[in-house]
C-alpha cells in the first residue's frame, strides 16, 4: 500500500474507521464501521458523503474548446449552455469507448472535465495529442466530494442555498461558508445530489462541515458500487471499455443528435463510421441488459450467461445483491436474440445455473432534481 496515492481526505478516512483498499492506484475506503449494506440504505433514505477525489479533474482552455473537444467525443458539446454539463464518451477509431466523462461549460473559452481515475493519465495524453497546441489542458489538484441522497438538498439549503437553485446537470461556482467551490447537481447513485470540487487544502474542512449535519454519513466505495448498479450506471473497465461501442452498451443517447447521420455536425469524432452505421443498421450482435435474479445469491462479474437450450450467450459485467431492490441485480452483455425484456437467461455460479430475467434499467426510480 506504500506506493498508493492518497486523497486530501485520507487522514479523515482513517479517523472515521474506514477500511482502506487499493482502487485505481489510490488508498480508498471501501466501507466504514456502518457497513456496506447500511451505508447503501442510508444514502437511499437520507444522505451520504463520498470521497471521489481520485477522479481526474481537467480544465480545457482556448479558442472554441467545445468544437475542438467534439473531435474526440461523440456528444453535443457545442450545444452545451454555459452553466450546464453533459455526459460524454471518448471513442476510438474502431468505435470502442476509451472512457466516459462529464463535461461542463464554465465559460465560452473554458470546459471543465471529470474523467475516471484509472484512465486520467491516458485521457489527458489523448486530449493533448488530439487537440494540439492551441488549447491549454490543465489537470487540477483538487478534492472532489459527492453529497448524495433524497435529503442532500435539505443539507445544502442550510449551508449553501444558492446550490439548491441548480437543477440536474447544472454547474456553478459558489461558496459553502467561506470555501469557494465548483458544484454540479449530479452524481453516481441515482439519487438527487451534488458533486463538489474543492481546493485540496479545504477538502477536509468541507467534509467535516457536511458530516456535522445529522442526515449525513460517510459512505465508501462498496456502497457506491451497489448504488450505481441499482441505478443502471456503467462502470468503466467493466460494463464499457474499448471493446464495446455506445450502441452495444445502450448509450445511443450519449451520441448527440447533431453528431448523427443527417445532423448539422455529422460525425467528426473517432470511430464515427462504425458507431453511426450501428445506429442506423442496428446490426450489432450483442447488447448490454439489466438482469434481475431470484433468491439472495448475488451473481458477480464474469459469470457466464446461457439461454434455455444451454448455449452460451454472454457474460455478466457487474453484479451484486441490490439492498433497495431486495434481489440480486446485474448487468451484462447478451446476444441480441436474448436481449428482449422479460426473457429468462441462466447465470453459472459455482457450477449451478441460476435464472435471471432480462429487465429494464434503472432498477430503482431515479431521484434526480429536474426542476
Domain shared by 337 and 189, yes or no? no
Q: At what angle do helices 221-230 and 36-45 cross, to 10 degrees?
A: 50
Q: Is the pLDDT of residue 1 over 70?
A: no
The Cα-based distances of 181 to 3, 126, 142, 261 in angstroms read 30, 27, 10, 39
- Residue 122: pLDDT band (50, 70, 90) is very high
Clarify whether residues 183 and 273 are in a common domain: no
335 beta partners:
286
Q: What is the per-residue burial (b if ≥16 Cβ within 10 Å, else e) of 34-59?
A: bebebbbbbbbebbbbbbbbbbbbbe
Is 90 part of any domain?
yes
Q: What is the mean pLDDT of residues 43-72?
A: 98
- Mean pLDDT in the chain? 97
Q: Indicate if the pLDDT at residue 39 is higher than 90.
A: yes
Handedness of CA 176, 179, 185, 186 (dihedral sign): negative
The predicted-structure confidence for 155-201, as pLDDT tens digits, reads as follows 999 999 999 999 999 999 999 999 999 999 999 999 999 999 999 99
pTM of the model: 0.97
Contact by Cβ (8 Å): 87, 98: no
Any domain includes 184: yes
CATH number at residue 302: 2.40.30.110
Q: How far apart (Å, rounded) are the C-alpha atoms in residues 151 and 293?
A: 30
Q: 2 pLDDT exceeds 70?
A: no
195-249 tens-digit pLDDT: 999 999 999 999 999 999 999 999 999 999 999 999 999 999 999 999 999 999 9
**Three-class SS state of 91:** strand
Does one domain contain both 133 and 219? Answer: yes
Query: Domain range for residue 76?
Result: 1-241
Residues near 308 by beta carbon (within 8 Å), at least 6 away in sequence:
344, 346
Whether residues 261 and 210 fall in one domain: no
The arithmetic mean of pLDDT across residues 18-35, rounded, is 97
Q: What is the pLDDT of residue 371?
A: 87
37 and 185 part of one domain: yes
Confidence grade of residue 271 (pLDDT, cut at 50, 70, 90): very high
pLDDT over 80 at 118, yes or no? yes
Residue 3: per-residue pLDDT: 87
Is 60 part of a structural domain of the chain? Answer: yes
- If asked whether residues 52 and 173 sit together in one domain, one would say yes
Which of 178, 209, 241 corresponds to the end of one domain? Answer: 241
Do 91 and 1 belong together in one domain?
A: yes
* pLDDT at position 292: 98
Mean pLDDT (whole number) for 138-167: 98
Question: Which of 220, 241, 262 corresponds to the end of one domain?
Answer: 241
Task: Choose one of 215, 241, 267: the last residue of a domain.
Answer: 241
Question: Per-residue pLDDT tens for 315-329?
Answer: 999 999 999 999 999
Q: What is the CATH number of the domain that holds 229?
A: 3.30.1360.120
Contact 307, 339 (CB under 8 A): no
Amino acid at each position: 500500500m506504500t506506493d498508493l496515492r492518497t486523497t486530501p481526505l485520507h487522514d479523515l478516512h482513517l479517523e472515521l474507521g474506514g477500511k482502506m483498499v487499493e482502487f485505481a492506484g489510490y488508498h480508498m475506503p471501501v466501507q466504514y464501521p456502518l457497513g456496506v449494506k447500511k451505508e447503501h440504505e442510508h444514502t437511499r433514505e437520507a444522505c451520504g458523503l463520498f470521497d471521489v477525489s481520485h477522479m481526474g479533474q481537467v480544465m480545457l482552455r482556448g479558442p472554441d474548446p467545445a468544437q475542438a473537444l467534439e473531435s474526440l467525443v461523440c456528444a453535443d458539446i457545442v450545444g452545451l449552455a454555459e452553466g450546464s454539463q453533459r455526459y460524454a464518451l471518448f471513442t476510438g477509431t474502431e468505435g470502442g469507448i476509451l472512457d466516459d466523462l462529464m463535461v461542463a461549460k464554465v465559460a465560452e473559452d473554458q470546459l471543465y472535465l471529470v474523467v475516471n481515475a484509472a484512465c486520467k493519465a491516458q485521457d489527458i495524453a489523448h486530449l493533448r495529442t488530439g487537440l494540439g497546441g492551441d488549447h491549454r489542458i490543465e489537470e487540477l489538484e483538487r478534492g472532489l466530494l459527492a453529497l448524495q441522497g433524497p435529503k442532500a438538498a435539505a443539507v445544502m439549503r442550510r449551508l449553501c442555498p444558492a446550490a439548491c437553485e441548480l437543477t440536474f446537470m447544472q454547474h456553478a461556482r459558489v461558496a459553502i461558508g467561506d470555501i469557494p467551490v465548483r458544484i454540479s447537481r449530479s452524481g453516481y447513485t441515482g439519487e438527487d445530489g451534488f458533486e463538489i470540487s474543492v481546493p485540496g487544502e479545504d477538502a477536509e474542512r468541507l467534509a467535516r462541515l457536511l458530516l456535522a449535519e445529522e442526515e449525513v454519513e460517510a459512505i465508501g466505495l462498496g456502497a457506491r458500487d451497489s448504488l450505481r448498479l441499482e441505478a443502471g450506471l456503467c462502470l468503466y473497465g467493466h460494463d464499457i471499455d474499448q471493446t464495446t461501442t455506445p450502441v452495444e452498451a445502450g448509450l445511443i443517447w450519449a451520441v448527440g443528435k447533431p453528431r448523427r447521420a443527417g445532423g448539422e455536425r455529422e460525425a467528426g469524432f473517432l470511430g464515427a463510421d462504425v458507431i453511426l452505421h450501428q445506429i442506423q443498421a442496428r446490426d450489432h450482435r450483442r447488447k448490454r441488459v439489466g438482469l434481475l435474479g431470484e433468491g439472495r445469491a448475488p451473481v458477480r462479474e464474469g459469470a457466464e450467461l446461457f439461454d434455455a437450450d444451454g448455449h452460451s450467450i454472454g457474460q455478466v459485467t457487474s453484479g451484486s445483491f441490490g439492498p433497495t431492490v431486495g434481489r440480486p441485480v446485474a448487468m451484462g452483455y447478451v446476444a441480441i436474440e436474448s436481449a428482449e425484456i422479460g426473457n429468462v437467461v441462466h447465470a453459472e455460479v459455482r457450477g449451478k445455473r441460476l435464472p435471471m430475467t432480462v429487465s429494464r434499467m434503472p432498477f430503482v426510480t431515479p431521484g434526480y432534481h429536474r426542476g
